[in-house]
Structure 1
Amino acid sequence: MLIVASNPSKFIQGYSEQFERAFLENLRRSHTTKRVSAHVVYNEYIRDKHHVHMNATRWTTLSGFVQYLGKTGKCVVDETEKGWFIQYINNDPVAMARQEELKRKHQALLDHEERNRRFIQAQVKEAHAKFGQGNGVDDDRPAPLHQPRVDKVTLSLKPKTSSEAKVSKVVVQPAFGQHAVNAEEEKAPPPPSKGGKRSAMDEIMAEETSKRQRRDEDEERVNRLDYWIDQGLIVKVMDKQVGDGAYYKQKGVVLRVLDKYVAEVRMLETRDVLRVDQDDLETVIPVVGGTVRIVNGLGRGALATLLSIDEGAYSAAVQITSGSKK
């Protein structure tokens, strides 16, 4: 007693550190990052016969200790009608470093897509500037079919009857080896015949289409991975062993991703926080018109609008609204 009385602050500080360390270790081991009542954790802690009593620390009440953990950023705390609730914050440097590495890779992928998009836009702009109107682009195209027919009409010495119009069409058809086109078809330039010369614009468009297909195939291979979970996704628990079946087919939101394959999920109904492997989860499909995120393959990470669902084929049609593919 005399030793304690001679320097009480030193002993109180030491007991406070021991109490805090043991309390947080029990919270981390027993409840991980789940939201749980502070009284439940405290009752579990005092079961240890060798525990440090709170009256030996600088905290006089459990609520004061809980508020201290919240202010120092060691736990997420909130007060309800049922008392204080507490949630452990995992500040493991290894886990945080992995999460930062995933964010950097995702940002690098987005930057690559943006560079590709700008490159394509620059090529299209250059093609328009080089082969636009007034530069003779139409000179390389085959003459439309309506030109010979117009010449015959202009050279006629008498009004053309309907029967003569039919004869005129018959004369034109063998000359080009094709049937006469109607008014709507004449608006678009006909495709080049076999062995015909392609225009420079046609070649550029064909080359751009081929490049785009190759880029899509490359992006599909790069983005087709064996992990798909991402922060912010709404998922559904599909394993009855999770929580002894208490969370089976219950929905939650992914708070963060651990080691690529494990999701930290906050359940929407109970507000509990679980760590679940991606094999025990599935995505939740909204109603038609809702917003979805592409989680694998071409367009991975992009947002899209759900247009239709084919349940028989286990597929859906979407319209991408973000990223380089919109």
Structure 2
Amino acid sequence: MGKAEVGTPKYLANKMKAKGLQKLRWYCQMCQKQCRDENGFKCHTTSEAHQRQLLLFADTPGKFIYSFSKEFSDGYMELLRRRFGTKRVAANKIYQEYIADKNHIHMNATRWLTLSDYVKWLGRSGQCVVDETEKGWFVTYIDRSPEAMEAQNKLDKKEKMEKDDQERMMEFIEKQIEKAKKSEKKDELSEDEKYTEFVRYEDEPVVLGIKLEKKFNPKGTALGRSCLLKRPSGEEDEKVFKKPRPVDRASSSSSSSSSTSNTSALSEIMRMEEIKKEKQNRKDYWLTEGIIVKFVDKSLGEKFYKQKAVVLEVIDKYRGKIKFLETGEKVKVDQAHLETVIPALDKPVRVVNGAYRGNEAILKKLDEKNFCVTVEISRGPLKGRIVEGVQYEDISKMQ
């Protein structure tokens, strides 16, 4: 059958049919011919022109596939750049707009079998930022034009200048902190030179080295002691015992007052040490591994409200991993949802905050009016020390 002449009804019908998109499986990329049905595609593949194109493809297949892949990628990226810019968009949406052009390069002629393979290649080559979601693959174009690169360089320089200013400010603050720490260390050294704590070891007698000055006695006798007197007539000397003088009450009262002042000075030193330890060890976080706590938040339901748990692990100082004692379930919670637990008397506790933070102790006394307790340190160099006035929230029962 001959070709329909221009202007005939058959020619117009063919043009109308060929105007829209046809099925991709009936398209020949080498000959760039679109067939309307399977019979037409079969006739085309048996034609002499198609056989010549196949012989050319067989000589250099890599050259043709590279050319088709490059044309497809260039067209896809050009549409992405012009249509969406650097916005994040679905990859399939761009592909649908790309194939709307009748003269586009079909994907079955490229080296990529599917659109997903092509999108992954864009991510590996650094041309786009790709990410996969439940709705499919999304791409974001990376603009590397000279204008965009220059604008990015200016933005980077501005951020660097701001960062340099911040770094200089942080360095200045760090220097001030170091200076303050050094001054505190000097103050501590001066305090150590002024005051020393009186330590008495067990079973060791207290020895006081008191030196008394000898007073001049014109008669040559010592108070309360025997002495030899030489008579002027040459008679033999004899022992004479003098009666000791009565004790002066004023001197005894002065000695007692001096001992009292020494005791008050010692207590003052100890009080200052307590205040110093309190300032150093008082923190806004108190969670410690191995203590028993009470869960006081209703977010997990009434089942766990006011239930006791043991702290298994401390995370970032303020959060911890706990295990409920009754159910055995493990959760991660903030310390704001927990409270300390006060055990019975003569039970072990751990000091979780304050001057004696981290020490193990024994609960000795409860003061319910002032909400405080008295404990005795049970381990370490301070073993045996009695500490009074420890607040409820500064101690907790041990596992």
Same-fold status (TM-score > 0.5): no
Whichever structure has more helix as a proportion of its residues is: 1
With a CA cutoff of 8 Å and minimum separation of 6, indicate the structure with the bigger relative contact order: 1
Larger Rg: 2
| TM-score, normalised via structure 1 length | 0.41
Normalised by the length of structure 2, the TM-score is 0.34
